[in-house]
Amino acid sequence: DELISQIAAGEVVERPASVVRELVDNALDAGATQITVRLQAGGVRLIAVEDDGCGIPREELPRALKRHATSKIQSLTELEAVDTMGFRGEALAAIHSIAEVSLLSRSAEATESHAWLLHGRTGEMTPAARTTGTTVEVRELFYATPARRKFLKSDSTELAHCLEAVRRHALARPDVSFAVWHDGKLIEQWRATAPNDPARALERRLADVLGEDFLADSVAVQWLGPGLQVWGRVGLPDAARARADRQFAYVNGRYVRDKVVAHAARSAYEDVLHGQRQPVYALYIAIDPTRVDVNVHPTKIEVRFRDSREVHQAVRHAIEQALAAPRA
């Protein structure tokens, strides 16, 4: 089972940023409103993610590190309409097989009077102190697989990938506060905005994470169809400051890399520009969960649409409309 977990780890964990992504997914699934990521040496020495979510009850702590232990779906029919980020129950087990993991958690259940600390290596549990929520610490990633460790880049490159992972989450959840520390220094902090005006909250978060120039150089996108909505912002094709690495697409709140969306955005740009240019966008797609399969890849970064033509057309039209609208 150790070997199977290590193989699974190879699919789930490429580098520290993969661990960051999985741990933040879990924090969000737990209903966190505040997530703090602490890194040392680009995440290779330490990745700690602290949340104020629902916590893990004492008797379930050891199970969290076991393979296919998920508290999130009970049946295959639920997989059809999965609305949590995680559901495969392999991330923590995979990480546990290639790093030193500890879980510190206090459950929101009233029967829990304090927190518990589980040392992954020994399985030992000790009582501890903290408020409701969970802290997962991952140390010495790939210590057991030196060959993998050799493929890691410099600390600053790994840190950049970790930051990108948090950024992707932050753009999806303006209602959650994020902080990132590296080697004892606070390097990013994005505060939640009151959710009474979601459109404003999203704009605020986009500006905080991508810079005020992203907001200034982009227009709002909104397209409402039956069972399919597209919104967000798209960069003006003639904006001088545009950066091609700013392509963020979300499907039902999940960051995805999707060819259909990317191609639709390029087509829309070409129609307006009559030339080639990498589009810039933060696009959010809400689609009936039965019309999209999220269980395509272990990292869940790819999705498969039942009807990809429909999605392509919606995204393309949404962007074309936004770019054609008269601007103030």
SS (H, E, C) 143-169: CCCHHHHHCCCCHHHHHHHHHHHHHHH
Which of 18, 26, 97, 247 contacts Mg ion by CB under 5 A? 26
Task: Mention every residue, 6+ apart, whose C-beta is less than 8 A from residue 140.
Answer: 44, 45, 99, 100
Considering only 51, 155, 203, 208, the residue that binds ligand ADP (CB under 6 A) is 51
Q: Which does 43 bind (CB under 5 to 8 A by kind): Mg ion, ligand ADP, none?
A: none
Query: Whole-number minimum distance, CB 113 to Mg ion, in Å?
Result: 27
Q: Which is nearer to Mg ion, 29 or 203 (CB)?
A: 29
Residue 117 binds to ligand ADP (criterion: CB under 6 A): no
Query: To the nearest whole angstrom, how small is the minimum distance from the Cβ of residue 55 to Mg ion?
Result: 15
Residue placing its CB nearer to ligand ADP in the complex, 72 or 317: 72
228 binds, among Mg ion, ligand ADP, none (CB under 5 to 8 A by kind): none
Q: How far apart are the first and last CA of the chain?
A: 61
CA distance 127 to 291: 45
184 three-class SS = coil
Site string for ligand ADP, 65-94 (x = CB under 6 A): ----xxxx-------------xxxxxxxx-
Q: Which of residues 235-254 bind ligand ADP (CB under 6 A)?
A: none
18 binds Mg ion (CB under 5 A): no
Asked if 132 contacts 55 with a C-beta cutoff of 8 angstroms, the reply is yes
73 lies in the binding site for Mg ion (CB under 5 A): no
- 64 near ligand ADP, rule: CB under 6 A: yes
Question: Residue 316 corresponds to which tokens in the numbers above?
Answer: 């393309």
Stretch that binds Mg ion, among 89-97, 118-126, 134-142, 183-191 (CB under 5 A): 89-97
Does position 86 bind Mg ion by CB under 5 A?
yes
Residue 170: CB minimum distance to Mg ion, A = 18
**Of these, 19, 27, 115, 162, which contacts ligand ADP (CB under 6 A)?**
27
The helix (run of H) or strand (run of E) holding residue 29 is helix 16-29
Rounded to whole angstroms, the Cα distance separating 322 from 135 reads 42
Give the list of residues 6+ apart from residue 170 with CB closer than 8 angstroms, or none: 176, 178, 190, 205, 209
Q: What b/e sequence results for 171-186 when a residue is b if at least 16 CB atoms lie within 10 Å of its CB, and e otherwise? A: bbbbebbbbbbbeeee
Positions touching ligand ADP (CB under 6 A) are 22, 26-27, 30, 51, 53-56, 64, 69-72, 86-93, 134
